[in-house]
Structure 1
Protein backbone atom coordinates (compact mmCIF):
# COMPACT_ATOMS: atom_id res chain seq x y z
CA UNK A 1 0.00 0.00 0.00
CA UNK A 2 1.28 3.48 -0.89
CA UNK A 3 1.14 5.30 2.45
CA UNK A 4 2.39 8.85 2.87
CA UNK A 5 5.64 9.44 4.68
CA UNK A 6 5.36 11.39 7.91
CA UNK A 7 8.96 12.50 8.38
CA UNK A 8 9.19 16.19 7.61
CA UNK A 9 10.48 17.05 4.16
CA UNK A 10 9.62 13.64 2.64
CA UNK A 11 5.93 14.23 3.34
CA UNK A 12 3.88 14.83 0.17
CA UNK A 13 0.57 16.61 0.73
CA UNK A 14 -1.11 15.12 -2.32
CA UNK A 15 -0.23 11.60 -1.20
CA UNK A 16 -2.26 12.15 1.97
CA UNK A 17 -5.90 10.98 1.54
CA UNK A 18 -7.20 13.52 4.05
CA UNK A 19 -5.91 16.28 1.77
CA UNK A 20 -8.27 15.06 -0.95
CA UNK A 21 -11.14 14.37 1.46
CA UNK A 22 -10.88 17.85 2.94
CA UNK A 23 -10.46 19.57 -0.42
CA UNK A 24 -13.36 17.74 -2.06
CA UNK A 25 -15.63 18.39 0.92
CA UNK A 26 -14.71 22.08 1.01
CA UNK A 27 -15.33 22.51 -2.73
CA UNK A 28 -18.62 20.61 -2.52
CA UNK A 29 -19.87 22.68 0.43
CA UNK A 30 -18.77 25.93 -1.20
CA UNK A 31 -20.73 25.18 -4.37
CA UNK A 32 -23.67 23.88 -2.39
CA UNK A 33 -23.74 26.96 -0.16
CA UNK A 34 -23.74 29.33 -3.16
CA UNK A 35 -26.56 27.40 -4.83
CA UNK A 36 -28.65 27.07 -1.67
CA UNK A 37 -28.33 30.78 -0.93
CA UNK A 38 -30.19 31.51 -4.18
CA UNK A 39 -33.27 29.76 -2.76
CA UNK A 40 -33.00 31.12 0.78
CA UNK A 41 -31.35 28.09 2.38
CA UNK A 42 -27.97 27.48 3.96
CA UNK A 43 -25.77 24.49 4.78
CA UNK A 44 -27.17 24.14 8.32
CA UNK A 45 -30.75 23.96 7.05
CA UNK A 46 -29.71 21.64 4.22
CA UNK A 47 -28.16 19.23 6.71
CA UNK A 48 -31.36 19.13 8.75
CA UNK A 49 -33.55 18.74 5.66
CA UNK A 50 -31.44 15.80 4.48
CA UNK A 51 -31.55 14.10 7.91
CA UNK A 52 -35.31 14.41 8.45
CA UNK A 53 -37.19 12.16 6.07
CA UNK A 54 -40.42 13.38 4.52
CA UNK A 55 -42.55 10.93 6.54
CA UNK A 56 -40.55 9.95 9.61
CA UNK A 57 -39.95 11.65 12.93
CA UNK A 58 -36.37 11.82 14.17
CA UNK A 59 -34.90 13.08 17.43
CA UNK A 60 -32.84 16.25 17.65
CA UNK A 61 -29.83 14.37 19.04
CA UNK A 62 -30.05 11.92 16.13
CA UNK A 63 -30.09 14.81 13.66
CA UNK A 64 -27.10 16.39 15.41
CA UNK A 65 -25.21 13.09 15.22
CA UNK A 66 -25.99 12.55 11.52
CA UNK A 67 -25.19 16.17 10.63
CA UNK A 68 -22.02 16.18 12.75
CA UNK A 69 -23.17 19.26 14.66
CA UNK A 70 -23.03 19.80 18.42
CA UNK A 71 -26.41 19.34 20.11
CA UNK A 72 -26.80 22.93 21.43
CA UNK A 73 -26.05 24.29 17.95
CA UNK A 74 -28.49 21.85 16.36
CA UNK A 75 -31.20 22.85 18.83
CA UNK A 76 -30.83 26.48 17.72
CA UNK A 77 -30.99 25.51 14.04
CA UNK A 78 -34.11 23.40 14.68
CA UNK A 79 -35.76 26.27 16.59
CA UNK A 80 -35.11 28.67 13.70
CA UNK A 81 -36.43 26.19 11.15
CA UNK A 82 -39.52 25.58 13.26
CA UNK A 83 -40.10 29.34 13.48
CA UNK A 84 -39.71 29.49 9.68
CA UNK A 85 -42.44 26.88 9.30
CA UNK A 86 -40.22 24.09 7.94
CA UNK A 87 -40.32 21.77 10.94
CA UNK A 88 -42.74 20.55 13.55
CA UNK A 89 -41.28 19.58 16.94
CA UNK A 90 -43.14 17.48 19.49
CA UNK A 91 -42.26 15.53 22.61
CA UNK A 92 -41.67 11.84 21.84
CA UNK A 93 -44.73 9.79 22.79
CA UNK A 94 -42.75 7.06 24.56
CA UNK A 95 -40.46 9.43 26.39
CA UNK A 96 -41.29 13.12 26.71
CA UNK A 97 -37.66 13.97 27.50
CA UNK A 98 -36.91 13.64 23.79
CA UNK A 99 -38.15 15.90 21.02
CA UNK A 100 -39.07 14.43 17.65
CA UNK A 101 -38.83 16.51 14.51
CA UNK A 102 -40.90 16.15 11.35
CA UNK A 103 -41.06 18.17 8.17
CA UNK A 104 -44.02 20.41 7.48
CA UNK A 105 -45.32 20.87 3.94
CA UNK A 106 -42.96 23.86 3.63
CA UNK A 107 -40.13 21.68 4.91
CA UNK A 108 -40.89 18.94 2.39
CA UNK A 109 -40.89 21.52 -0.43
CA UNK A 110 -37.59 22.98 0.82
CA UNK A 111 -36.13 19.45 1.09
CA UNK A 112 -37.08 18.66 -2.50
CA UNK A 113 -35.59 21.94 -3.69
CA UNK A 114 -32.39 21.41 -1.69
CA UNK A 115 -32.11 17.82 -2.92
CA UNK A 116 -32.39 18.93 -6.56
CA UNK A 117 -29.58 21.43 -6.00
CA UNK A 118 -27.36 18.90 -4.23
CA UNK A 119 -28.06 16.27 -6.89
CA UNK A 120 -26.82 18.56 -9.69
CA UNK A 121 -23.57 19.16 -7.82
CA UNK A 122 -23.22 15.45 -7.08
CA UNK A 123 -23.74 14.57 -10.75
CA UNK A 124 -21.03 17.02 -11.79
CA UNK A 125 -18.63 15.80 -9.11
CA UNK A 126 -19.14 12.13 -9.97
CA UNK A 127 -19.45 12.48 -13.75
CA UNK A 128 -16.16 10.63 -14.30
CA UNK A 129 -16.64 8.08 -11.51
CA UNK A 130 -18.11 4.68 -12.39
CA UNK A 131 -20.73 3.05 -10.15
CA UNK A 132 -18.08 0.49 -9.13
CA UNK A 133 -15.63 3.26 -8.18
CA UNK A 134 -18.39 5.02 -6.26
CA UNK A 135 -19.19 1.83 -4.34
CA UNK A 136 -15.49 1.24 -3.60
CA UNK A 137 -15.10 4.82 -2.41
CA UNK A 138 -18.09 4.50 -0.07
CA UNK A 139 -16.76 1.18 1.25
CA UNK A 140 -13.31 2.66 1.89
CA UNK A 141 -14.71 5.76 3.58
CA UNK A 142 -16.98 3.63 5.77
CA UNK A 143 -13.91 1.66 6.90
CA UNK A 144 -12.05 4.89 7.68
CA UNK A 145 -14.99 6.19 9.71
CA UNK A 146 -15.27 2.90 11.60
CA UNK A 147 -11.55 3.02 12.42
CA UNK A 148 -11.76 6.60 13.62
CA UNK A 149 -14.84 5.87 15.73
CA UNK A 150 -13.02 3.15 17.65
CA UNK A 151 -11.82 4.31 21.04
Structure 2
Protein backbone atom coordinates (compact mmCIF):
# COMPACT_ATOMS: atom_id res chain seq x y z
CA UNK A 1 0.00 0.00 0.00
CA UNK A 2 1.39 3.41 -0.97
CA UNK A 3 1.59 6.14 1.65
CA UNK A 4 -0.90 8.94 1.10
CA UNK A 5 0.39 11.86 -0.95
CA UNK A 6 0.80 15.12 0.88
CA UNK A 7 -1.79 17.64 -0.13
CA UNK A 8 -0.16 20.59 -1.84
CA UNK A 9 -1.56 24.05 -1.38
CA UNK A 10 -1.36 27.32 -3.29
CA UNK A 11 1.36 28.52 -0.86
CA UNK A 12 3.61 25.57 -1.80
CA UNK A 13 5.81 26.48 -4.82
CA UNK A 14 5.77 22.84 -5.98
CA UNK A 15 1.97 22.88 -6.30
CA UNK A 16 0.32 23.35 -9.68
CA UNK A 17 -2.05 25.78 -7.91
CA UNK A 18 0.82 27.89 -6.53
CA UNK A 19 0.15 31.61 -6.30
CA UNK A 20 2.89 33.96 -5.14
CA UNK A 21 0.35 36.00 -3.14
CA UNK A 22 -0.35 32.93 -1.01
CA UNK A 23 3.36 32.24 -0.39
CA UNK A 24 4.36 33.57 3.07
CA UNK A 25 7.96 34.20 1.99
CA UNK A 26 6.68 36.46 -0.79
CA UNK A 27 5.10 38.71 1.83
CA UNK A 28 8.03 38.43 4.21
CA UNK A 29 10.39 39.56 1.45
CA UNK A 30 8.11 42.43 0.41
CA UNK A 31 7.60 43.61 4.00
CA UNK A 32 11.33 43.38 4.73
CA UNK A 33 12.21 45.23 1.52
CA UNK A 34 9.73 48.03 2.11
CA UNK A 35 10.76 48.32 5.75
CA UNK A 36 14.45 48.59 4.78
CA UNK A 37 13.72 51.23 2.13
CA UNK A 38 11.85 53.35 4.65
CA UNK A 39 14.43 52.81 7.38
CA UNK A 40 17.35 53.75 5.09
CA UNK A 41 15.55 56.95 4.06
CA UNK A 42 14.75 57.90 7.66
CA UNK A 43 18.14 56.96 9.11
CA UNK A 44 19.96 59.13 6.55
CA UNK A 45 18.57 62.09 8.50
CA UNK A 46 20.82 61.09 11.41
CA UNK A 47 23.77 59.87 9.30
CA UNK A 48 23.08 56.18 9.92
CA UNK A 49 22.08 53.06 8.01
CA UNK A 50 20.16 49.92 8.95
CA UNK A 51 23.21 47.76 9.82
CA UNK A 52 24.53 50.36 12.28
CA UNK A 53 21.00 50.84 13.65
CA UNK A 54 20.85 47.09 14.35
CA UNK A 55 24.21 47.09 16.15
CA UNK A 56 23.19 50.02 18.35
CA UNK A 57 19.88 48.38 19.28
CA UNK A 58 21.53 45.05 20.06
CA UNK A 59 24.02 46.79 22.32
CA UNK A 60 21.36 48.95 23.96
CA UNK A 61 19.37 45.84 24.85
CA UNK A 62 22.18 43.39 25.62
CA UNK A 63 24.78 45.77 27.01
CA UNK A 64 28.22 44.58 26.10
CA UNK A 65 28.24 41.90 23.38
CA UNK A 66 30.86 40.08 21.38
CA UNK A 67 31.09 40.75 17.66
CA UNK A 68 29.99 37.15 17.14
CA UNK A 69 26.86 37.68 19.28
CA UNK A 70 26.05 40.87 17.38
CA UNK A 71 26.50 39.00 14.11
CA UNK A 72 24.09 36.28 15.25
CA UNK A 73 21.36 38.72 16.33
CA UNK A 74 21.81 40.96 13.29
CA UNK A 75 21.79 37.89 11.01
CA UNK A 76 24.88 39.15 9.24
CA UNK A 77 28.19 37.59 8.29
CA UNK A 78 30.86 37.86 10.96
CA UNK A 79 33.23 39.65 8.57
CA UNK A 80 30.54 42.19 7.67
CA UNK A 81 29.66 42.77 11.32
CA UNK A 82 33.32 43.24 12.19
CA UNK A 83 33.68 45.93 9.50
CA UNK A 84 30.53 47.69 10.71
CA UNK A 85 31.66 47.63 14.35
CA UNK A 86 35.07 49.10 13.54
CA UNK A 87 33.50 51.84 11.39
CA UNK A 88 31.23 52.60 14.32
CA UNK A 89 34.24 52.68 16.63
CA UNK A 90 35.90 55.20 14.31
CA UNK A 91 32.69 57.26 14.50
CA UNK A 92 32.76 57.14 18.33
CA UNK A 93 29.51 55.16 18.65
CA UNK A 94 31.02 52.02 20.20
CA UNK A 95 34.15 50.89 22.01
CA UNK A 96 35.88 47.53 21.69
CA UNK A 97 38.03 45.57 24.11
CA UNK A 98 39.31 42.01 24.45
CA UNK A 99 37.07 39.75 26.51
CA UNK A 100 38.28 39.15 30.07
CA UNK A 101 37.44 35.43 29.70
CA UNK A 102 38.93 34.89 26.23
CA UNK A 103 41.34 37.39 24.74
CA UNK A 104 40.52 36.17 21.23
CA UNK A 105 36.97 37.50 21.60
CA UNK A 106 36.27 41.18 21.00
CA UNK A 107 33.63 42.71 23.25
CA UNK A 108 31.71 45.74 22.01
CA UNK A 109 30.03 48.36 24.18
CA UNK A 110 28.02 51.44 23.37
CA UNK A 111 29.48 54.89 24.08
CA UNK A 112 27.64 57.99 25.31
CA UNK A 113 27.65 59.21 21.69
CA UNK A 114 26.06 55.90 20.70
CA UNK A 115 23.36 56.33 23.34
CA UNK A 116 22.66 59.85 22.07
CA UNK A 117 22.42 58.45 18.54
CA UNK A 118 19.80 55.95 19.71
CA UNK A 119 17.64 58.84 20.91
CA UNK A 120 18.00 60.54 17.51
CA UNK A 121 17.19 57.22 15.79
CA UNK A 122 14.03 56.86 17.83
CA UNK A 123 12.94 60.37 16.93
CA UNK A 124 13.16 59.72 13.18
CA UNK A 125 11.83 56.13 13.11
CA UNK A 126 9.04 56.15 15.71
CA UNK A 127 6.31 57.11 13.23
CA UNK A 128 7.34 54.28 10.89
CA UNK A 129 6.90 51.70 13.65
CA UNK A 130 3.54 53.17 14.64
CA UNK A 131 2.34 53.13 11.03
CA UNK A 132 3.71 49.63 10.36
CA UNK A 133 1.44 48.07 12.96
CA UNK A 134 -1.58 50.37 12.67
CA UNK A 135 -4.80 48.40 12.92
CA UNK A 136 -3.19 45.49 14.76
CA UNK A 137 -3.84 44.74 18.40
CA UNK A 138 -1.11 43.90 20.89
CA UNK A 139 -2.32 40.28 20.82
CA UNK A 140 -2.09 40.17 17.02
CA UNK A 141 1.45 41.52 17.08
CA UNK A 142 2.41 38.96 19.74
CA UNK A 143 0.84 36.20 17.62
CA UNK A 144 2.69 37.41 14.52
CA UNK A 145 5.98 37.39 16.45
CA UNK A 146 5.27 33.88 17.71
CA UNK A 147 4.49 32.58 14.21
CA UNK A 148 7.62 34.18 12.75
CA UNK A 149 9.73 32.77 15.58
CA UNK A 150 8.37 29.28 14.82
CA UNK A 151 9.22 29.61 11.12
CA UNK A 152 12.69 30.92 12.06
CA UNK A 153 13.38 27.89 14.28
CA UNK A 154 11.98 25.52 11.63
CA UNK A 155 14.63 26.83 9.22
CA UNK A 156 17.45 26.58 11.77
CA UNK A 157 18.59 23.06 11.00
CA UNK A 158 17.59 22.76 7.35
Normalised TM-score (structure 2): 0.88
Q: Which residue in 1 is equivalent to 2:23?
A: 16
Larger Rg: 2
* Matched-pair contact (CA < 8 Å) for 1:89–1:101: yes
- Map 1:45-56; keep pairs closer than 5 Å: 45-53=52-60, 56=63
In the TM superposition, what is the alpha-carbon distance from 1:119 to its structure 2 partner? Answer: 2.9
Aligned length: 151
Q: 1:147 to 1:54 in 2, by over 3 A?
A: closer
- Gaps of at least 5 residues in structure 2 are 1-8
Q: Which residue in 1 is equivalent to 2:112?
A: 105
Q: Deviations over 1:25-75 (max 9, x none)?
A: 111111010000011011111111111127821000000111011011111
- Distance in 2 separating the partners of 1:130 and 1:50: 24
Structure 1 counterpart of 2:64, from 26, 50, 57: 57
Q: 1:123 to 1:85 in 2, by over 3 A?
A: same
Q: CA RMSD in A?
A: 1.9
Normalised TM-score (structure 1): 0.92
Q: Which residue in 2 is equivalent to 1:80?
A: 87
Q: Which residue in 2 is equivalent to 1:42?
A: 49
Q: Which residue in 2 is equivalent to 1:93?
A: 100
Q: Which residue in 2 is equivalent to 1:140?
A: 147
Give the secondary structure class of the aligned counterpart of 2:107.
strand
* Matched-pair contact (CA < 8 Å) for 1:4–1:15: yes
Give the secondary structure class of the aligned counterpart of 1:101.
strand
* Matched-pair contact (CA < 8 Å) for 1:88–1:103: yes
1:119 and 2:126 equivalent? yes
- Distance in 1 separating the partners of 2:53 and 2:102: 27
Q: Which residue in 1 is equivalent to 2:4?
A: none
- Gaps of at least 5 residues in structure 1 are none
